[in-house]
Amino acid sequence: MPSSFKNQTITTTRSNKMKKALLALLSIAIAFTAMQPSQAQDQKVLAIIDSAVDSNKIPSVIYEACFTTNLSCPNKTNTMEGKGSANSNVWPSSIVNSIYHGHNMTQAALTVDPSIKIVFVRVANVTSSGNILQDTKSLRSAIDWVSKNAEKYSIDAVSVSLSSISKNNLNECTTDSVVMGAVSSLNSKNIPTFAATGNDGSLNVVGYPSCVSGVIGVGASWFDTKTKSHIFAKSTNRGPGLDVLGVAEALIVRYHGTTADTSGTSGATVLAAAKYVSKNTYKTFGEYVSSLPKVLDYPYNGK
């Protein structure tokens, strides 16, 4: 899955007009379900499956797991759970390296609601030089793990800001029985899985795993100052599996302390999932899905 972490764009110049115009396009929520005895009754928990995170920098991370195929989990195996599991042994000097994607997505979620708790699952195969190699196997293991541990950690929703439209990965849309089963199990527990459709500009196909049945595929919108409305971001992949558009921008604090804006379907996905977790009002998953704004409600003015 070579394009997994290409859904996110970071910009360092903010437009005041854009900020004032940003709206929450998704009113997403559900009644809280499972609860650990040790957790407060109003605990809000979001599972983020992404590159990596240093939980020492983000206290909101309450549990971690790691799945790789190149023995690059912190314990130098392919599987690890517990404190420090989602960390990377290498954090490159370049702040735009894809390894920082997970940190940025976690920070974006917390801009929605600082009280949200994070269960972070790392799926990045990190090389000794800090580069990321991604494959379907790690992502499959991560989604399956979340499904099996959702009640244990009182998870309310899952965010996957990863996408690939490679031929091999698109074949997984209808053949990956592990992911399809895990998503179905999560849905039966009223725990939705949000996944980015991707930023390849495709007109007729969305990336894996947003293409999997039962996953809520999230595209990105941006505010058009001419029409004074939100429209499709031109780079958003669309087609069967694109279920909803979300505002992608959030001002975050990056790993080394500088600030930047998120954008693209990655940002839209994690913000949508965080809004869902934060504003719980719906009683069932079906009721929530039926409340989603239809994609065609948003005009697209590009080609």
- The C-alpha angle 238, 3, 94, rounded to 5 degrees, equals 125
Helix 136-149 and helix 167-175, axial crossing angle in degrees, nearest 10: 30
pLDDT digits 0-9 by tens, 211-256: 999 999 999 987 778 887 778 888 999 999 998 888 888 888 999 8
The tokens for 290 are 């039926």
Per-residue pLDDT band for 291 (boundaries 50, 70, 90) equals low
Report the predicted TM-score, pTM, of the whole model to 2 decimal places.
Answer: 0.84
Per-residue pLDDT band for 25 (boundaries 50, 70, 90) equals very low
Residue with tokens 């990105």: 220
pLDDT of residue 3 exceeding 50, the answer is no
Per domain, the residue ranges of the chain are 9-293
Please tell us whether the domain made up of 9-293 is placed in CATH 3.40.50.200. Answer: yes
Q: Residue 262, SS3?
A: strand
